[in-house]
């Protein structure tokens, strides 16, 4: 079976069709997990006429096997750990804390790089569509869900173009709605299902957020920033 999507924009347009029942919702907000989730989220936000912002999550990789996630951190000081994996590999707490500290610095750098002087979107009482380019381990998405819950949204809708069936079903207990466009078996890696899966850059993320704000005539900006822009 070959790739399902040409690139992340193509995946976002496909996913927007499955989210059409949320169109015209004035309380809707699209939050994308950078970097790869932003092109997907951009197309969803444009199709549903909703504002777009980023929600930064950083994976905590196992030392020496960084692609293997032992957990993640997210905006708001939330940390999610894979206790079974940590116990199985006997990873000491001091190592976990050291990696988490480094990733926290990168998390803050990214938030500043992506938004510039813009403030984060208001989340309370909004229906939030949380977007990524795919779901493999689910660690980053779980961290994002827990961080968002602390900010009291009206609902959290998970939307990804492709994901592991096991993880998509697991997240149904943590979110109000989960939409996984494709759940191929066997799953392999997220990038397998894209013809073009080149890494999204910080500059591309910043440009897409600026473009989304411009196309929305300021609707993406919180009230304080909107007043300053007038």
Domain boundaries, the chain: 8-55+120-229
Question: Would you state the pLDDT for residue 223?
Answer: 35
Rounded Cα–Cα distance for residues 5 and 1 (Å): 12
Question: Would you state the pLDDT for residue 124?
Answer: 92
Rounded Cα–Cα distance for residues 110 and 165 (Å): 30
Residue with tokens 């997907």: 40
Listed residue (56, 84, 55, 79) closest to 68, CA to CA: 84
Instruction: Kindly give the interhelix angle for 37-48 and 8-18, rounded to the nearest 10 degrees.
Output: 40
Q: Which contiguous run of DSSP H or E holds residue 155?
A: strand 155-162
**Cβ within 8 Å of residue 166, ≥6 positions away:** none
**Cβ within 8 Å of residue 210, ≥6 positions away:** none
Question: Would you state the pLDDT for residue 62?
Answer: 94
Q: What distance, in Å, lies between the first and last C-alpha atoms of the chain?
A: 51
8 Å CB contact between 65 and 89: no
Listed residue (174, 209, 217) closest to 53, CA to CA: 209
Listed residue (205, 9, 39) closest to 111, CA to CA: 205
Selecting from 3.75.10.10, 3.40.50.10470, 3.40.50.2020, 3.40.50.2000, what CATH number does the domain 8-55+120-229 have?
3.40.50.2020
Rounded Cα–Cα distance for residues 186 and 22 (Å): 31
Question: Would you state the pLDDT for residue 1?
Answer: 56
Quote the tokens at residue 205: 């993320």
Residue with tokens 């689910």: 138
Question: Would you state the pLDDT for residue 195?
Answer: 95
In order along its 230 residues, the chain shows pLDDT tens digits of 566 899 999 999 999 999 999 998 999 999 999 999 999 999 999 999 999 999 998 889 999 988 788 988 887 777 888 899 999 999 999 999 999 999 999 998 998 899 888 888 889 999 999 999 999 888 889 889 988 888 899 999 999 999 999 999 999 999 999 999 999 888 888 999 999 999 999 999 999 999 998 887 444 444 333 332 32
8 Å CB contact between 194 and 8: yes
Quote the tokens at residue 8: 């992340």
Sign of CA dihedral 221, 213, 200, 188: positive
């Amino acid at each position: 079976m070959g790739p399902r999507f040409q690139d992340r924009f193509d995946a976002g347009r496909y996913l927007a069709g499955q989210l059409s029942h949320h169109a015209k919702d004035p309380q809707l907000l699209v939050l994308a997990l950078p970097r790869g989730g932003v092109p997907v989220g951009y197309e969803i936000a444009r199709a549903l006429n909703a504002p777009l912002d980023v929600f930064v999550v950083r994976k905590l990789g196992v030392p020496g096997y960084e692609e293997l996630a032992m957990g993640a951190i997210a905006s708001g000081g939330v940390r999610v750990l894979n206790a079974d994996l940590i116990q199985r590999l006997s990873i000491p707490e001091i190592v976990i804390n050291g990696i988490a500290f480094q990733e926290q610095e990168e998390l803050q750098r990214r938030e500043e790089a992506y938004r510039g002087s813009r403030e984060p979107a208001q989340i309370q009482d909004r229906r939030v569509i949380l977007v990524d380019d795919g779901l493999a381990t689910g660690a980053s998405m779980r961290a994002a869900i827990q961080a968002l819950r602390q900010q009291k949204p009206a609902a959290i809708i998970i939307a990804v173009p492709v994901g592991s069936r096991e993880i998509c079903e697991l997240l149904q207990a943590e979110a109000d709605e989960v939409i996984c466009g494709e759940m191929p078996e066997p799953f392999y890696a997220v990038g397998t299902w894209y013809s073009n899966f080149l890494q999204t850059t910080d500059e591309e993320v910043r440009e897409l957020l600026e473009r989304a704000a411009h196309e929305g005539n300021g609707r993406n900006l919180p009230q304080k920033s909107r007043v300053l822009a007038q």
